[in-house]
Amino acid sequence: QVQLVQSGAEVKKPGASVKVSCKASGYTFTSYGISWVRQAPGQGLEWMGWISAYNGNTNYAQKLQGRVTMTTDTSTSTAYMELRSLRSDDTAVYYCARDYGGNSGPPDYFDYWGQGTLVTVSS
């Protein structure tokens, strides 16, 4: 069965960076893209960007351009999301999600999700 398993919770200081991992299993990793979606406490969902697990092509939400980098390691079927220059309003649960639209983009909807990783930014 398809599973996306994310790394554990993180606590970071403002200005620091965080890197969250998402290990996929149960399907051919390179046949799909992965999107990252975050959810601030008590708030709605925000799409952060997409990466093709086939060729590494990326596209990021405009508001995060310059601060976010998404990568993949096909040898371990793992996707990564790094967010830099963290601020208090980056405190959120970060989800990876498999994109149904395949590996060439643009992203569609999300049929499988990771369990979420809480990132807390606090001094």
Partner 1 sequence: DIQMTQSPSTLSASVGDRVTITCRASQSISSWLAWYQQKPGKAPKLLIYKASSLESGVPSRFSGSGSGTEFTLTISSLQPDDFATYYCQQYNSYWALTFGGGTKVEIK
What residues make contact with partner 1 under the rule CB under 8 A?
35, 44-47, 50, 59, 61-62, 95, 97, 100-101, 105-111, 113-116
Task: Give me the least distance between CB of 40 and partner 1, in Å please.
Answer: 12
Q: Residue 16 or 45: which CB sits closer to partner 1?
A: 45
One-character DSSP codes across the chain: --EEEE---EEE-TT--EEEEEEEESS-GGGSEEEEEEE-TT--EEEEEEEETTT--EEE-GGGTTTEEEEEETTTTEEEEEE-S--GGG-EEEEEEEETT-SSS----EEEE---EEEEE--
Q: Which is nearer to partner 1, 90 or 99 (CB)?
A: 99
CB of 81 to partner 1, least distance (A): 15
Cβ-based nearer residue to partner 1, 77 or 117: 117
